[in-house]
Structure 1
Amino acid sequence: MLDFTAVLAFIICSLLLALTTKRKKSKKTVSVTSYTRKLPLPPGPKSWPLIGNLPEILGRNKPVFRWIHSLMKELNTDIACIRLANTHVIPVTSPRLAREILKKQDSVFATRPLTMGTEYCSRGYLTVAVEPLGEQWKKMRRVVASHVTSKKSLMSTLQKITEEADDLVRYINNRGNGNGFGVIDLRLAVRQYSGNVARKMMFGVRHFGKGSEDGSGPGFEEIEHVESLFTVLTHLYAFALSDYVPWLRFLDLEGHEKVVSGAMRNVSKYNDPFVDERLMQWRNGKLKEPQDFLDMFIMAKDADGRPTLSEEEIKAQVTELMLATVDNPSNAAEWAMAEMINEPRIMQKAVEEIDMVVGKDRLVLESDLPNLNYVKACVKEAFRLHPVAPFNLPHMSTADAVVDGYFIPKGSHMLISRMGIGRNPSVWDKPLKFDPERYLGNNIGVELDETELNIISFSTGRRGCMGANIGWPMTCVLLARLIQGFTWSPVAGESKIDMSESNNDLFMAKPLHAVAKPRLAPHVYPT
């Protein structure tokens, strides 16, 4: 049975939609051929009049993404249609259909839907990733492409990645408590590595406060900052009722808005003072040369020599880039380490490759990655089997379209399933098995090639992630350092790592804790 909140939402939704039905029916569909009108919608569950499948997502089918994938498996389809009020939600679990949407018809599906979560994280749609198609998106895309993804910026970022990888190794080594063995909270360690890289890229600092008491790890401020970023990420597209029935938003029936707004306040209380102070330093002539992405955003000029970005746009874009930095590398590294600890044969192969390519007298650098194909294959396999989110950021159709012989109405939300494609048995042999060797065997080095979209981590097309050339080496260096620096084993009393997936998302159900023993000479470790 539905709970009281769901029943209330159901009743209010029915009344409000009934009042607006006549007006919506009076609007005519444009640019639709008679042939297209006759095509069926993709298969999906039976829906209620007016409200569609809202009762299903308000009831016991939580989390919604698991219900959607279960439904598609039951229907034996790679494309489905779930109607939520007046919105057609179209999930896709096939690389062939993903290529149709993200490549062949990219121009039709290049915009984003408006949601409560994305409004908060972008300060009212001021950024590049979640901004709907338009002049604001074009402007922010130009700025990010010029100042974040340029070759010069990439070299500076790789240096920061190396610095934070050094700090990560030092942090783990210091947890040995004098006996060489330390139980490491790897989720905390890898998420703070990602958070440190993000803060270094944006602000040139590792910590907002003093760090931990011994100075070797994160303090309360850094932990709260990263946890708040992850809270925002998990609620960006959470199938909130108000995203499909905007009139109900003021009620916040599911509490999503309260959670997102609170998390964004936490992020802003750390980020905004840095932006305010830096703006003042530039205005007072105290700074001359840009040192990080924040400086680059402040100094960006338009054709007339005026600042390109407003203060609000700078703050919004800084936050969005942090959101884009912290999740994928840390999640992939945590899952990969868990899989490899449980499969010593895989771990040993990675160790042997690093020892052969790099040796034991220095730590892995980004420049070693071209020769570390087995390690990169482990990262790629983690991206495939354990994506950080079930779906890519949604695309929305700007016109009526046809995909795989089905009618896709204008305004449909297209959900490309990372989870569905990466675990699709028609694409992958033994899809639930962690097997990095599936990418080896040819004479071509292992790279994050998503051209065929058999794996979707950073996506493609005009709305693909602009930071793939940062995220890929950031993840590979992270995993390589963990493997090279330490011998890993389950904590005392456990023979295997629990590989259970969280009920509510795709993270590990329990944060990964493991015992780390240094495997290199003491002088190799940063001090």
Structure 2
Amino acid sequence: MEFYLIVSILVATIFSILVHRLLLHILHRKRVKNQKPPQAKGAWPIIGHLYLLGGPDLPHKVLGDMAEKHGPIFTIKLGVHQALVVSDAEIAKDCFTTNDKAFASRPKMEASKIMAYNNAVFGVAPYGDYWRQVRKMVVFEVLSQRRVEMLGHIRASEVRASLKDLYDGWGTNKLTGSSESQMVKVEMSQWSGNLVLNIVVRIISGKRFSPNDEEGVRFQAVVRKYFELFGAFLVADFIPYLNWLDVGGYKKLMKNTGKDLDNIFDRWLKEHKQESASEDQFPGFGHDTIIKATSLQILVAGVDTTSVTLTWALALLLNNPKALETAQDEIDEHVGRDRLVEESDLKNLVYLDAIIKETLRLYPAGPLSVPHESVEDCIVGGYNIPKGTRLVLNLWKLQRDPNIWSDPEEFKPERFLTSHKDIDVKGNHYELLPFGSGRRMCPGVLFALQALVLTLASLIQQFALKKPSNEPVDMTESMGMTNSKATPLDVLLSPRLPSNMYNVGS
């Protein structure tokens, strides 16, 4: 009898605990269901907080200041739309793991409609079969690790050709009768843009542009206009019933620029097109449109983001000459000066890799990432988030969190060799997400990293680099689709290898 009594008491106790926990869970779910995230104050009628983001201050810094007041998760009104602003690593993890599918889509924007083939560019396409199929194709054909390795000869030849252009320019512009060490001034942001453009265009079309090529100059001008317009503010994106207005004439400019770019891609397509009896397996768009849209995606995702990161890395090194010297010493140790650095050497250049990570931390190419849109109700950070909410991830603020990064405003590559040595940028460490995370993460991360490290390694191996004056390099950021340096990057340079090392064919 005592045994049965003890068993009965245990069963009753366990049952009571389970019931208690169930009630607590139900009460918690009820509270969470009705709990909304903090909403930023200062919204104006109709336009909401748009007046803050359309002002003279950079949006990621405006939202960073708002996070100081409202916390790492809050909402703002963008016209008729609600946006969730996140600047915390743990909350970002919640968005891209538990709620990854919920935030897998993109908001529809006028720029995507007008200049991205009505959202056929898969980076801005809604979540669904079309996006999955095109992305899978691009990864398999261009961006897988195997394909990135196979395309190494294009990166290597373009880097060497561009550095030879620098060497030839140095030889032409150095003072007559001067010593071999005479330094000349070069604007490097244009140089890095030309280099990356040639890498990507060769992959897309097999073409390359010489520095003064007429088609290349025209193409670069169209691409620059495209980036500028894609980051422009359109009233219709936030207040749809004003779609008939074209404030600032942006829609007209977008149509013209989109047409110019389409004409170029159309010409390239006709040069390469072969008759095929295969049927189009992609829903919603014609075969030619998919080819052009996908080429545009590779161009847009690869050129500006990579070139602006190279520019920021070089600017940071010029302002921190000790770091530049350390990087050059590392290359001299592992590669030497009697041969050029190759991609197979990059695994040994751990300090240079740390420089790239620190650059991406301080100056992510997309400081507000690419916006997501929730396709279903979800719970983020304990708050109820309704379907249709736009997710804005403030990488600039998140990656300068003083609770994670000591001296967060300082350029310290060494942190990635010590306290943060296990952190990478491939979407699994939520305190550092320059390429995003989850299923909508940028699939070109491997390609971008190879191009970045090889170019920077080759440049600082082959040239001595200095600031043109004793003043620090201006690190002012500009407004636009990507976080570009607002002013040109002028650099004094001279060769640091024997002259025969620069006579490498492209």
- State the match for 1:67 in structure 2: 62
Pairing partner for 1:477 from 438, 454, 459: 454
- 1:44 counterpart letter in structure 2: A
- State the match for 1:39 in structure 2: 35
Structure 2 contact 315–489 (Cα < 8 Å) conserved: yes
- Seen in structure 2, the aligned counterparts of structure 1 residues 96 and 309 have a Cα distance that, compared at 3 Å, is same
Instruction: Kindly report which structure 2 residues correspond to 1:366-377, keeping only aligned pairs within 5 A, or say none.
Output: 366-377=343-354
Instruction: Kindly report which structure 2 residues correspond to 1:260-339, keeping only aligned pairs within 5 A, or say none.
Output: 260-279=254-273, 282-283=274-275, 310-339=287-316
- Provide the TM-score with structure 1 as the length reference: 0.82
Equivalent-residue separation in structure 2 for 1:43 and 1:245 (angstroms): 19
Equivalent-residue separation in structure 2 for 1:146 and 1:250 (angstroms): 41
Structure 1 contact 224–266 (Cα < 8 Å) conserved: no
- State the match for 2:498 in structure 1: 521
- Seen in structure 2, the aligned counterparts of structure 1 residues 220 and 386 have a Cα distance that, compared at 3 Å, is farther
- 1:508 counterpart letter in structure 2: K
- State the match for 2:194 in structure 1: 192
- 1:440 counterpart letter in structure 2: L
- Seen in structure 2, the aligned counterparts of structure 1 residues 92 and 227 have a Cα distance that, compared at 3 Å, is farther
Equivalent-residue separation in structure 1 for 2:139 and 2:98 (angstroms): 23
Equivalent-residue separation in structure 2 for 1:475 and 1:315 (angstroms): 26
- Whether 2:158 is the aligned partner of 1:164: answer yes
- 1:502 counterpart letter in structure 2: S
Bigger shift: residues 417-426 or 160-169: 417-426
Helix, strand or coil for the counterpart of 1:175?
helix
- Whether 2:493 is the aligned partner of 1:499: answer no
- Seen in structure 2, the aligned counterparts of structure 1 residues 242 and 219 have a Cα distance that, compared at 3 Å, is same
Equivalent-residue separation in structure 2 for 1:50 and 1:447 (angstroms): 42
Pairing partner for 2:49 from 53, 61, 71: 53
Bigger shift: residues 327-336 or 379-388: 327-336
- Seen in structure 2, the aligned counterparts of structure 1 residues 269 and 45 have a Cα distance that, compared at 3 Å, is same
Instruction: Kindly report which structure 2 residues correspond to 1:121-520, keeping only aligned pairs within 5 A, or say none.
Output: 121-178=115-172, 179=174, 180=180, 181-207=183-209, 211=210, 217-236=211-230, 238-279=232-273, 282-283=274-275, 310-441=287-418, 447-491=424-468, 493-502=469-478, 506-520=483-497
Bigger shift: residues 445-454 or 338-347: 445-454
Structure 2 contact 189–311 (Cα < 8 Å) conserved: yes
Equivalent-residue separation in structure 2 for 1:468 and 1:424 (angstroms): 23
- State the match for 2:10 in structure 1: none
Equivalent-residue separation in structure 1 for 2:432 and 2:394 (angstroms): 10
Structure 1 contact 186–511 (Cα < 8 Å) conserved: yes
Deviation at 1:473, TM superposition (A): 0.6
Deviation at 1:152, TM superposition (A): 4.4
Equivalent-residue separation in structure 2 for 1:204 and 1:443 (angstroms): 40
Structure 2 contact 92–393 (Cα < 8 Å) conserved: yes
Structure 1 contact 192–223 (Cα < 8 Å) conserved: no
- 1:183 counterpart letter in structure 2: K
Q: Using CA pairs below 8 Å that are at least 6 residues apart, which structure has the higher relative contact order?
A: 2
Equivalent-residue separation in structure 1 for 2:217 and 2:433 (angstroms): 28
Helix, strand or coil for the counterpart of 1:320?
helix
Structure 1 contact 393–415 (Cα < 8 Å) conserved: yes
Helix, strand or coil for the counterpart of 1:83?
strand
- 1:89 counterpart letter in structure 2: A
Pairing partner for 1:107 from 93, 101, 105: 101
- Seen in structure 2, the aligned counterparts of structure 1 residues 423 and 520 have a Cα distance that, compared at 3 Å, is same
Helix, strand or coil for the counterpart of 2:248?
coil
Give the aligned length.
466
- 2:342 counterpart letter in structure 1: L
- Seen in structure 2, the aligned counterparts of structure 1 residues 151 and 235 have a Cα distance that, compared at 3 Å, is same
Bigger shift: residues 146-155 or 135-144: 146-155
- 1:498 counterpart letter in structure 2: D
Equivalent-residue separation in structure 1 for 2:217 and 2:91 (angstroms): 39
- Seen in structure 2, the aligned counterparts of structure 1 residues 275 and 168 have a Cα distance that, compared at 3 Å, is same
Equivalent-residue separation in structure 2 for 1:300 and 1:426 (angstroms): 55
Cα deviation 1:345-364 (Å, max 9, x = unaligned): 11110000000111111111
Deviation at 1:373, TM superposition (A): 0.5
Give unpaired runs (5+ residues) of structure 2.
Answer: 1-28, 175-179
Deviation at 1:36, TM superposition (A): 4.8
- Seen in structure 2, the aligned counterparts of structure 1 residues 430 and 238 have a Cα distance that, compared at 3 Å, is farther
Equivalent-residue separation in structure 1 for 2:232 and 2:396 (angstroms): 16
Deviation at 1:446, TM superposition (A): 7.8
Cα deviation 1:58-98 (Å, max 9, x = unaligned): 5x46544433222223x151112111232111121111111
Bigger shift: residues 516-525 or 46-55: 46-55
Give unpaired runs (5+ residues) of structure 1.
Answer: 1-32, 212-216, 284-297
Deviation at 1:57, TM superposition (A): 4.4
